[in-house]
Amino acid sequence: MISPSFVVAAITLVLKARLVVPAADAPSISPGMVLIEGDRILSVGSALAVPAGAIVLDLGDVTLLPGLIDAHSHLSLDVLAGNEAEQVRAPETELVLRAARHAARDLESGVTTMRVLSEPRFIDVTYRKFFNQGELPAPFVQIATSAIAASNGHGVTSVRADGADEVRKTTRVNLKAGADWIKLYVTGGVATPGTDPRTSFYTREEIRAAVEEADRASRPVAAHAYGGPGVDDAIEAGVESIEHGLYLTDSQFEAMAAKGIFLGATLGVFLHEPGPAEDPRWSPEIREKFLEARRAAVDSLSRARRAGVRVVFGTDAAHGALAEEAVHASKAGMSAREILKALTQDAAELMRLGGEIGTLAPGKRADLVAFEGNPLEDVEALSRVRFVMKAGRAYRDDRMR
């Protein structure tokens, strides 16, 4: 069980580590130090002066990095727990408690920020307040409230809206509820019976209606889209990210790159074995779609990279498993440094938080994670978490165990 090891109000901290990596594209510092006051970083360097009265934490033979960012999750769901349609039927109190349990697991795994791309019945509005104020052990979250889907479309965490006017109204309802993102289920999905992931359930006009309303409120739009003509419509409408994107053509990836649209890759949910493809709690139809997605996942990411698409990674609903995304990404030819950049700086930029998180720099939020080994040389080191700090508060410190 995680519990904060201290509260940092008006306390100056000094973290020492064998190696500090301020940013994925910056030189490493060895030995390294990070000075923190309250929830902010004061300075990063090698032989910094220790202020009088500061608390010094020598983390030892570890690599200290910016906190990791899971760019696609659903905290109330667990893809390894069977049929998601059955999971969302639970009472709201159970869903919120389940989300809190999963969030604690994600934080302990080194995830200090998360983009939650829809939950049932607006439960994310409730838990965001407690998570972001530090009242519960959880990553900082951005939320999408309820995703918007066509009546015959994909999505167990969605509300249904048909026609441009209804989509526009539903977008406004989500914005009023406090959505940081608008999530659209543009195509079918793997986990919904009777829907083809390449079939579009929204017209270009319906997608554009959501984007226009979101733009008016300075909110971005994430489009669940596996492939097919719906991807073209989402790109043309100006969404911020395409989620999953397993069956995109090379020309679609090139169009994304030209417009600066991110790919939200979710490899582990398909490549984890045993996973949903082997789980008898899912129907044969769903298991076959998971197998098809597994066959496409690595090649899809490789082609996205060749086209110049910026990629971020999410676990979808497999909690504490972001390190597995890194291992799968390496199979697609990404270097360790590219993967780390995707998990930190690029994800921060996608979430419009580049001035707050993603690198270790003066003035940024003190979100840091220490690993045994060096993730810049071996991405599997991302699974060997030894210390986690969010906003200047330590939530995991293996030296105390």
Is pLDDT at 5 greater than 80 in this prediction? no
Whether the CB-CB separation of 123 and 96 falls below 8 Å is answered with yes
Residue pair 83/38 in contact (Cβ under 8 Å)? The answer is no
Instruction: Supply the pTM of this predicted model.
Output: 0.95
- Mean model confidence pLDDT for the chain: 94
Q: What is the pLDDT of residues 49-69, one digit of tens each?
A: 999 999 999 999 999 999 999
First CA to last CA distance, the chain: 11
pLDDT tens profile 187-199: 999 988 888 999 9
Taking a C-beta distance cutoff of 8 angstroms, is the pair 8, 326 a contact? no
Reported as a pLDDT band with limits 50, 70 and 90, residue 224 is very high
Question: Do residues 66 and 357 touch, judged by C-beta distance below 8 A?
Answer: yes
pLDDT band at 2 (very low <50, low <70, confident <90, very high): very low
- Output the pLDDT for position 79: 84
CATH number of 68-350: 3.20.20.140
Q: In what order do the strands lie in the sheet with 111-116?
A: 68-73, 111-116, 140-143
Average pLDDT over residues 15-28: 97
Q: So where are the chain's domains?
A: 12-66+360-400, 68-350
Same fold, 12-66+360-400 and 68-350: no
Residue 203 pLDDT class (50, 70, 90 cuts)? very high
Give the rounded percent of residues in the chain with a pLDDT score beyond 90.
88
Q: Cα–Cα distance between 272 and 152 in angstroms, integer?
A: 29
SS3 for 218?
Answer: coil
At 126-163, the pLDDT tens digits run: 999 999 999 999 999 999 999 999 999 988 888 999 99
CATH code of domain 12-66+360-400: 2.30.40.10
Residue indicated by tokens 């409408």: 237
Residue 9 reports pLDDT greater than 60: no
Q: Which of helix, strand or coil describes residue 200?
A: strand
Please give the distance of CA 171 from its chain centroid, rounded to a whole number: 22
Residue 1 has pLDDT above 70, yes or no: no
Mean pLDDT confidence for 304-317:
97
* pLDDT higher than threshold 60 for residue 8: no
